[in-house]
Amino acid sequence: MNFNPGCIPLEVGFYLAGFTDGEGSFNFSFRRRNDYKNKWKISVCFNISNKDIVILRLFQKYLECGTLRSRPDGVWYFEVNNIKQICENVVPFFKKFPFLSDKKKKDFEIFCEILEILQGSDPRSEKSIRIIMELRNQMNYGGKRKFTDQEILETFAIKESSETIRQTQVNNLG
């Protein structure tokens, strides 16, 4: 069964969009993975945290996806980490029930741009990674990052052999 945001009562949809406008977050993060060719996995997440689990259960019910988890301090998280569910449920929901704040509108537009890249033909190429990082840095006021862009890009650095370097220097002299 396909998700249909048109079936959501308007007052509920706009309430959840407004709540997300103030409390929600769209994120991309890079995680080291030794089993990946370029050593990085790009993780996608939509999340909201709040002490009131009732509101977060509404998100889970109406978006028809996501998980709830709690912290020891009583704060609950609703999160969707599955890219398919984000593309098929979360994105259509927020296209039907748009944000009012310019900041969240911009973050959501960038989020959708990055999702398109991730679903493209070569999402893990150096070019795609550079574009994703540039776009991601425009979201969430830059956000906190575990790894710098430079650390991630070093994975793509082409290591030239000493013979290649020597030949280049000789050719430049003559």
pLDDT, tens digit (0-9, with 9 covering 90-100), for 19-67: 999 999 999 888 887 887 777 788 899 999 999 999 999 999 999 999 9
**Which positions ≥6 away from 20 have C-beta within 8 Å?**
48, 94, 99, 104
Q: What is the CATH number of the domain that holds 134?
A: 3.10.28.10
Residue 49, helix vs strand vs coil: strand
Domain hosting 165: range is: 5-173
Please report the pLDDT score of residue 125 as a whole number.
79
Spatial distance between the Cα atoms of 131 and 113, rounded to a whole number of angstroms: 10
Please report the pLDDT score of residue 161 as a whole number.
38
In terms of Cα–Cα distance, which of 77, 90, 88 is closest to 13? 90
Which of the four pLDDT bands, split at 50, 70 and 90, describes residue 156? low
Domain total of the chain: 1
* Mean pLDDT, range 138-152, rounded to an integer: 77
DSSP code for 109? H
- Beta-ladder partners of 40: 32
- Name the percent of the chain lying above pLDDT 90: 56
- Sheet-wide strand order for 76-80: 24-32, 40-50, 76-80, 67-70
- Name the percent of the chain lying above pLDDT 70: 86
Q: Is the dihedral of CA 136, 141, 147, 151 positive or negative?
A: positive
